């Protein structure tokens, strides 16, 4: 079989191109610090990289949701603590007003302070967060939850829903509470309405209004203290629920952090290049290419015609 000069030279060119492709691939690995440049380099490894990246992104989204829920619940917890402090003062004033030694003018002064405290409490109930959303309106976060109506009572503008935030693959946590669960359902009735009976008033604003109105009129009804105590219990119960959720969020955040570290470690082992090994292979491949180029230069000039006279 005859081997032509052109065929031999083509073999040499193909070898050089193959060597250059290998050198280029190693150079790309060193440049990107990744050993899997295309799925064909390692199909199973490339599929694992996709799964690991998706797992990391999903877990990071859970952490973002946890941060959002934690901020919202922490703000709510602080507002409720201030609400409890206000009600403590209302209760203290109420006890003073029910004291038989106080004069009608003293009770009128106490009633005025009570109304001021009620207004402060109402402001807390209508607080917005950093996103300009009302905290206690349920899903209707753009609607003010509690408003004073023309009759002198209160109306609730929100709904009874709780927004559930996905914080793990199979777990959701409510990031707030509807205002009626915290401050009670308003009747819409004025404090002077005969249907507003102390001891049975569910809404804290209406309860304080009734207490203050009675004291201003020098009417003493100890049952109003029961309304204040009931309102405080309702808020304290909500605070306990928030505390449980905040603790759960903190634990989940720690678990997610550990999970991300594990996933990133696996990802690094799968796709990150061993720099020392890659440099060694690059040097070896470069030397091999240089040798192939030198050999090709010598071989390409070899021809039978060089020896014919």
- Rounded CA gap, 283 and 281, in Å? 5
Please, are residues 67 and 130 in contact by the beta-carbon 8 Å criterion?
A: no
Going by C-beta distance under 8 Å and a sequence separation of 6 or more, which residues neighbour residue 275?
A: 30, 33
The predicted pLDDT at position 127 comes to 96
The predicted pLDDT at position 216 comes to 95
The predicted pLDDT at position 306 comes to 55
Domain boundaries, the chain: 53-265, 274-309
Return the residue matching tokens 């209160």.
Answer: 154
Nearest to 146 by CA among 126, 129, 124, 119: 126
The predicted pLDDT at position 265 comes to 83
Return the residue matching tokens 């359902």.
Answer: 185
The predicted pLDDT at position 280 comes to 55
Domain 53-265, CATH homologous superfamily name and number: f41 fragment of flagellin, N-terminal domain (1.20.1330.10)
The predicted pLDDT at position 48 comes to 78
Please, are residues 137 and 156 in contact by the beta-carbon 8 Å criterion?
A: no
- Rounded CA gap, 272 and 14, in Å? 30
Please state, in angstroms and as integers, the Cα–Cα distance from residue 46 to each residue in 21, 50, 94, 267, following that order: 21, 6, 71, 10
Token pair belonging to 124: 């807390």
∠ CA 53-54-58, rounded to 5°? 120
The predicted pLDDT at position 267 comes to 72
Write the burial class of residue 291 (CB in 10 Å: 0-12 exposed, 13-18 middle, 19+ buried): exposed
- Rounded CA gap, 211 and 198, in Å? 8
- Mean pLDDT, consecutive 10-residue stretches, the chain (309 aa), reads 52 53 54 59 72 90 95 95 97 94 94 96 95 94 95 94 93 94 95 94 96 95 95 95 96 94 80 54 54 52 54
Going by C-beta distance under 8 Å and a sequence separation of 6 or more, which residues neighbour residue 303?
A: 5
The predicted pLDDT at position 248 comes to 96
Please, are residues 210 and 198 in contact by the beta-carbon 8 Å criterion?
A: yes
Distance in angstroms between the alpha carbons of the first and the last residue of the chain: 24
Residue 110 has a CB neighbour count (10 Å cut-off) of 24
């Amino acid at each position: 079989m005859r081997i032509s000069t052109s065929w031999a030279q083509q073999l040499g060119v193909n070898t050089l191109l193959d060597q250059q492709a290998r050198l280029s691939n190693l150079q790309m690995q060193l440049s990107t610090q990744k050993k899997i440049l295309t799925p064909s380099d390692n199909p199973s490894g490339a599929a694992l990289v996709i799964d690991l990246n998706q797992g990391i992104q999903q877990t990071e989204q859970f952490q973002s949701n946890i941060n959002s829920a934690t901020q919202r619940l922490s703000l709510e917890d602080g507002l409720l603590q201030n609400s409890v402090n206000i009600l403590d003062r209302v209760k203290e004033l109420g006890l003073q007003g029910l004291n038989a030694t106080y004069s009608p003018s003293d009770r009128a002064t106490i009633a005025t302070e009570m109304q001021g405290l009620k207004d402060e409490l109402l402001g807390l109930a209508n607080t917005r967060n950093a996103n300009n959303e009302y905290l206690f309106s349920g899903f209707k976060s753009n609607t003010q939850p509690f408003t004073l109506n023309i009759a002198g009572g209160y109306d609730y503008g929100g709904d009874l829903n709780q927004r559930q935030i996905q914080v793990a693959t199979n777990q959701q946590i409510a990031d707030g509470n509807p205002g009626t669960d915290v401050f009670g359902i308003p009747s819409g009735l004025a404090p002077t309405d005969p249907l507003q009976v102390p001891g049975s008033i569910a809404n804290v604003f209406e309860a304080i209004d009734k207490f203050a109105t009675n004291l201003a009129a020098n009417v003493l009804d100890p049952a109003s203290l029961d309304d204040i105590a009931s309102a405080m219990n309702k808020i304290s119960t909500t605070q306990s629920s928030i505390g449980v959720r905040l603790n759960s969020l903190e634990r989940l955040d720690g678990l997610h952090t550990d999970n991300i570290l594990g996933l990133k470690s696996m990802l690094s082992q799968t796709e990150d290049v061993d720099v020392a090994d890659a440099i060694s292979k690059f040097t070896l491949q470069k030397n091999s290419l240089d040798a192939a180029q030198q050999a090709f230069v010598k071989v390409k000039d070899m021809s039978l015609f060089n020896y014919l006279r």
